[in-house]
Chains A and B, each alone.
Chain A
Amino acid sequence: MNALERHRRLRAIWASEPGMRGWLSTVNHNDLGRMFLLTAFVFFGIGGLLAMLIRAQLATPHSAFAGPQIYNQIFTMHGTIMMFLFAIPCFEGLAIYLLPKILGTRDLAFPRLTAYGYWCYVFGGVMLLVAMLLGIAPDAGWFIYPPLSGAIHSPGINTDFWLIGITFVEISAIAAAVEITVSVLKYRAPGMALDKMPIFAWYALITALMILTGFPPLILGSVLLELERAFGLPFFQAELGGDSLLWQHLFWLFGHPEVYIIFLPAAGVISTVLPVMCRTTLLGYGWIVAAAVGLAFLSFGLWVHHMFTTGIPHMGLAFFSAASTLVAVPTAVQIFAWIGTMWKGRPELHLPMLHILGFFCTFVIGGLTGVMVAVVPFDWQAHDTAFITAHLHYVLFGGFVFPILAGVYYWLPHVTGQRRVFRLGEVAFALVFLGFHVTFLAMHWVGLMGQRRRIPTYAPEDGWTAINLISSVGSFVLAIGLAMILIDVVLHVLIAARGKRNPWRAGTLEWAMMTPPPAYTFASLPQVDSRTPLADDPHLAVRLARGEGYLATPREGARETLCVDIASGRPDMHVVYPANTRLPVTMSALTGVFFLSLLVKFYWTVPLALAGVAILACKWVWGNGRREDPEPVQVREGITLANAATARRSPGWWGTLFLLSADATFFGALLFGFAFLWTVAPGWPPPEWFAGAMVMAGIGGFGALIGPAAMRQAIRANRRGDTALPGIGLALVGALAVAAACAAVMVQTPAPMGHAYGATLLVLGGYGLFHAGLGALMAGFLAARVLRGFTSRVRQAEFSIVSLWIDYLSVIGLLVLLAAYLPGLLS
């Protein structure tokens, strides 16, 4: 088979459907990565327009441009869109597009999940846009502190749009994070050990793990606040045993890691692009990985620095101030390693390099002002002034937008296969750089003069007129610069000037293919022995196209790739991906019906939508299996691999593990909330403790303990060749027992609308009930699979996945029962 014939056959296997149908049914990372990025940049444009409106409003004193009602919506939506609908999805899109290529494989771990996440993002984002067009957008600031955002002070639907829309969008963040984690760990080119991984993959992995632990507290907070708004469960009302500070803790427990979730991918882009621009390799690869890991850990320990003015005890202030300054150390390690890389090589001033220089200049200033506000006495003055607004824009624009623009110009030739013709980008960079610094340097200044953030207007006597005008003029220069970049990119796409393959002479694998990249990426998968395989072998692309790699022979119309051992990169499984399907878009539409029903309080469609999602989820998983044992596949001369369905730790098992780690963080945040209310909130202890029937606790405890044992018995029986049905049946009974006990907690909890204690128990019980229902559904599903012959002694992957869920159910079931029964027993 020659290269052209291989290309034709692979293309037939991997191609998306033509036209609009292809958009809806594609599950390929090439398509979805580009769709993600395009959508994210559309939202960037919308957020930018809102920023222009803000600057127009503040340009002159006593501005009559927008009244406070509209102005509050504008700045709330600006922050919300930039954080949730631009920055995070932009990272997701970049990672989805790039990771399989840079790791030397053909797609991400769970292609349909990629599509599901994308559509959740689009539908959730559109919900927020609709709210904005109707003039009922969220208006309580992007961190919507209760009680301002509670039902009493914000009775309209505005805040519900935020809570429900953002939670919907977060599904895509969690989905992408699971996807990225498993892909980086398991889906790499043979031979790519962890220490030979391109640095971008390390950053993506760390960011994804941070999303899995950072986002659940926000999702929990949103759920609790929406429950309070819709059903009067008083989690944040001080007079009923709640505490508005709980929201601030949950929000910033997410919100601070979020800053690094945004910065780390950008740092990954710099670590990838900068050495190529300097014709050298990265200085201190191991140090940079260690610094990024350190940053990730530290970032979870300093959320309180957003709350220095809330009356935190003095020792707490000292601790969080120290942690906040300490976080500058791993950042400094990265910055100086990059500058050292520039000294090591010979920097060339291409357009991506200009944006990296823009990053250095801007981000270092943002970091230094960040250290300033980490010093508590200074923060007491600067907090909630324009100084903070300026600081965070230096960090986020400097630490994210400049690197991403560098990345856009660096990888654009890869996406289009073309080259730039006009030199518009250089002028645009100059305008963006100049405009940005004029806008936000001025904002620092006016902040120190006492201008609060979020005020709709000010008086001439305040003496801020000239500075604000300068700032506004700067912002319009910035906007013109960004518009020119847009024009430059559009011209690049439209003008078909054929580019060279690997125009930057990079050493990473994404350039070892034709551009624009084919849907299957590599005609055959490379063997990797260094961090820069393409630099070692400049003809790698041609050799791979000729089939001198793994999986060179397309088989049975299947989309194939292989998995590797996590540490060593030794190939260990053969994987067949699902093909084009509209299941993801349908399922996310149904998920949207669920959220929309909650939003408009149309509760009778909620269970219908949930049932629909459950049915589609079963269909989703059902379609994966086969009824005969798969033959081992020869992936290369002398190397034969077993199919993933025969593995105890299949990709699905890994995905479940990381999804459960996010779930566990959610549960942990819920327990934290319980403990926090108990110890800090006024109005405790509650008037009445939970006093449920002990027999229900016994039933639940029994179910929680029997489940894992039963599943293990089922696995052993299956491996022996006996029937696994009795074990699965017992696990099902166990899950139902936990469900009954949790339902009893929900029913018997004292006055959930009268005190936050009862409300918290209601949510704990609901959490347990949901997982027990999920466990029962899975056990039932597995039993059906066994009955229909989809499992065998060899095909055992599904057993270990269900077992993992049952184990998790067991742990949280016991904890829920303990949290419910113990306080009542002790008092």
Chain B
Amino acid sequence: MLAGGALIFALVMVLLLLSFTRRAPAGGEARQLRVWVIGLGLVFPLAVLGALLAYGLVIGERLLAREEPEVIRVSAEARRWTWRFTYEDAPGRRTEGVLHIPAGRPVDVAITTADVIHSFWVPRLAGKLDAIPGHVNTLRIEADRPGTYRGLSAEFSGAGYGGFTFLVSAHDAAGWAAFVEDTER
């Protein structure tokens, strides 16, 4: 997308520069209209945008949360200025500020809020999705390998917004089992 954008920008700049060097206008007004307005103004963007849109929709489709047997379900509830996480696999277990997930498995995060609008964003795992009062939004995330990922709340929420972050801890299979076990003890 960036390269395509840069190319189009370069094209416009070259056309602008050339207008200062050329002297004789090519053809009559009708021909100029065909070239500039219909060719460059209508056909060119329609072709580029059509391709881009199709690409975006396909990618978006792939990001959609689908029903899979393997899916882990967790809940994330935001309040000013902390996130509370609960786990379907570990009832009664609640963590604050750190979300635990297994690596290599799809996870559905049910996002809600206790006060104002917030947004759940772990840049390396998925795009962001808002926590809106009265609604539950579900985001599919998946960590390829175990590790710690930084998460941010990405909707302005007042005075404590700047430091409103959290962590996602992705465990390997043994670690996840231990995390789930821990609650049942």
Q: 1/0 contact trace for A11-38 toward B, CB 8 Å? A: 0000000000000000000000000000
A596 to B56: give the CA distance in the assembly, Å: 49
A726 to B53: give the CA distance in the assembly, Å: 63
CB neighbours (8 Å) of B40 from chain A are: 332, 336, 339
Q: Which residue of B lies closest to A365 (CB)?
A: B9
Say yes or no: B133 contacts A344, CB within 8 Å: no
* Segment 46-101 of A: residues with Cβ below 8 Å from B: 68-69, 72
CB < 8 Å neighbour of A452 from B63, B154, B159 = B154
A283 to B158: give the CA distance in the assembly, Å: 50
Say yes or no: B49 contacts A326, CB within 8 Å: yes
* Segment 19-44 of B: residues with Cβ below 8 Å from A: 19-20, 22-23, 25-26, 29, 32-33, 35-37, 40-42, 44
Knowing A145-B117, A147-B115, A361-B13, say if A342 contacts B19 (CB, 8 Å).
yes
User: Is A547 at the interface (CB under 8 A from chain B)?
Assistant: no
Binds B, one of A236-244, A518-526, A652-660: A236-244
User: Is A184 at the interface (CB under 8 A from chain B)?
Assistant: no
User: Is B46 at the interface (CB under 8 A from chain A)?
Assistant: yes
A681 to B26: give the CA distance in the assembly, Å: 60
Q: Which residue of B lies closest to A311 (CB)?
A: B137
Say yes or no: A311 contacts B135, CB within 8 Å: yes
Knowing A321-B56, A329-B45, A346-B23, say if A148 contacts B9 (CB, 8 Å).
no
Say yes or no: A360 contacts B32, CB within 8 Å: no
User: Is B16 at the interface (CB under 8 A from chain A)?
Assistant: yes
Say yes or no: B133 contacts A284, CB within 8 Å: no
Binds B, one of A194-202, A371-379, A759-767: A371-379
User: Is A603 at the interface (CB under 8 A from chain B)?
Assistant: no
Say yes or no: A332 contacts B45, CB within 8 Å: yes
User: Is A3 at the interface (CB under 8 A from chain B)?
Assistant: no
User: Is A456 at the interface (CB under 8 A from chain B)?
Assistant: yes
Cβ of B81 to closest chain A Cβ, rounded Å: 11
Say yes or no: B117 contacts A147, CB within 8 Å: yes
Cβ of A706 to closest chain B Cβ, rounded Å: 44
A572 to B16: give the CA distance in the assembly, Å: 45
CB < 8 Å neighbour of A376 from B56, B119, B159 = B56
Q: Which residue of A lies closest to B23 (CB)?
A: A346
* Segment 288-345 of A: residues with Cβ below 8 Å from B: 291, 309-311, 314, 317-318, 321-322, 325-326, 328-329, 332-337, 339-340, 342-345
Say yes or no: A72 contacts B158, CB within 8 Å: yes
CB neighbours (8 Å) of A517 from chain B are: none
Binds B, one of A120-128, A381-389, A779-787: A381-389
Say yes or no: A283 contacts B36, CB within 8 Å: yes
Say yes or no: A377 contacts B16, CB within 8 Å: no
Q: Which residue of B lies closest to A333 (CB)?
A: B41
Binds A, one of B69-77, B96-104, B124-132, B175-183: B124-132
Among A154, A347, A380, max chain B CB count under 10 A is at: A380
A471 to B45: give the CA distance in the assembly, Å: 32
CB < 8 Å neighbour of A239 from B59, B128, B134, B161 = B134
CB neighbours (8 Å) of A336 from chain B are: 36-37, 40-41
CB < 8 Å neighbour of B128 from A243, A245, A349, A380 = A380
User: Is A138 at the interface (CB under 8 A from chain B)?
Assistant: no
* Segment 149-168 of B: residues with Cβ below 8 Å from A: 152, 154-162
User: Is A369 at the interface (CB under 8 A from chain B)?
Assistant: yes
CB neighbours (8 Å) of B116 from chain A are: 145, 147-148, 153
A332 to B41: give the CA distance in the assembly, Å: 5
Say yes or no: A332 contacts B44, CB within 8 Å: yes
Q: 1/0 contact trace for B1-29 toward A, CB 8 Å? A: 11001001100110110111011011001
Knowing A145-B117, A454-B161, A457-B162, say if A339 contacts B16 (CB, 8 Å).
yes
Knowing A145-B117, A339-B12, say if A377 contacts B159 (CB, 8 Å).
no
CB neighbours (8 Å) of A328 from chain B are: 45, 49
User: Is A693 at the interface (CB under 8 A from chain B)?
Assistant: no
User: Is A140 at the interface (CB under 8 A from chain B)?
Assistant: yes
Among B18, B26, B155, max chain A CB count under 10 A is at: B155
CB neighbours (8 Å) of A415 from chain B are: none
Q: Which residue of A lies closest to B40 (CB)?
A: A336
User: Is B174 at the interface (CB under 8 A from chain A)?
Assistant: no
Knowing A243-B134, A344-B25, say if A372 contacts B154 (CB, 8 Å).
no
CB neighbours (8 Å) of A349 from chain B are: 20
Cβ of A165 to closest chain B Cβ, rounded Å: 20
Cβ of B114 to closest chain A Cβ, rounded Å: 11
* Segment 51-100 of B: residues with Cβ below 8 Å from A: 52-53, 55-57, 59-60, 63-64, 80
Q: Which residue of A lies closest to B44 (CB)?
A: A332
User: Is B147 at the interface (CB under 8 A from chain A)?
Assistant: no
User: Is A287 at the interface (CB under 8 A from chain B)?
Assistant: yes
Say yes or no: A284 contacts B117, CB within 8 Å: no
A385 to B162: give the CA distance in the assembly, Å: 13
* Segment 494-541 of A: residues with Cβ below 8 Å from B: none
Say yes or no: B35 contacts A340, CB within 8 Å: yes
Cβ of B64 to closest chain A Cβ, rounded Å: 7
A103 to B157: give the CA distance in the assembly, Å: 49
CB neighbours (8 Å) of A72 from chain B are: 158-159
Cβ of B179 to closest chain A Cβ, rounded Å: 27
Say yes or no: B162 contacts A456, CB within 8 Å: yes
Among B37, B46, B53, max chain A CB count under 10 A is at: B37
User: Is A611 at the interface (CB under 8 A from chain B)?
Assistant: no
Cβ of B111 to closest chain A Cβ, rounded Å: 8
Say yes or no: A148 contacts B60, CB within 8 Å: no
Cβ of A329 to closest chain B Cβ, rounded Å: 5
User: Is A608 at the interface (CB under 8 A from chain B)?
Assistant: no
Say yes or no: B156 contacts A368, CB within 8 Å: no
Q: Which residue of A lies closest to B54 (CB)?
A: A322
CB neighbours (8 Å) of A238 from chain B are: 132-135
Say yes or no: A287 contacts B134, CB within 8 Å: no
CB neighbours (8 Å) of B19 from chain A are: 339, 342-343, 347
Say yes or no: A383 contacts B154, CB within 8 Å: yes
A317 to B29: give the CA distance in the assembly, Å: 41
Cβ of B147 to closest chain A Cβ, rounded Å: 17
Cβ of B166 to closest chain A Cβ, rounded Å: 13
CB neighbours (8 Å) of B25 from chain A are: 343-345
Cβ of A304 to closest chain B Cβ, rounded Å: 13
A360 to B13: give the CA distance in the assembly, Å: 8
CB < 8 Å neighbour of B130 from A309, A318, A346, A385 = A309
Say yes or no: B123 contacts A381, CB within 8 Å: yes
Say yes or no: A340 contacts B53, CB within 8 Å: no
Say yes or no: B152 contacts A450, CB within 8 Å: yes
Among A152, A336, A344, A384, max chain B CB count under 10 A is at: A336
A663 to B156: give the CA distance in the assembly, Å: 33
Knowing A340-B36, A343-B32, A380-B128, say if A682 contacts B135 (CB, 8 Å).
yes
CB < 8 Å neighbour of A287 from B41, B56, B80, B129 = B41
A364 to B9: give the CA distance in the assembly, Å: 7
What are 26 A-B pairs with beta-carbon distances under 8 A?
A: A147-B115, A147-B116, A148-B117, A153-B115, A283-B29, A287-B41, A309-B119, A309-B127, A310-B130, A314-B60, A325-B49, A329-B42, A333-B41, A339-B19, A343-B15, A343-B19, A347-B19, A349-B20, A372-B1, A376-B56, A378-B1, A380-B63, A380-B127, A380-B128, A384-B119, A458-B162
Which 7 residue pairs across A and B have the least CB separation, nearest first?
Answer: A380-B127, A238-B134, A340-B36, A333-B41, A311-B137, A342-B19, A375-B56
Other A-B pairs, 11, CB within 8 Å; known A148-B116, A342-B20, A375-B52: A139-B158, A244-B134, A310-B130, A318-B57, A333-B42, A339-B19, A375-B1, A377-B59, A377-B60, A450-B123, A682-B134
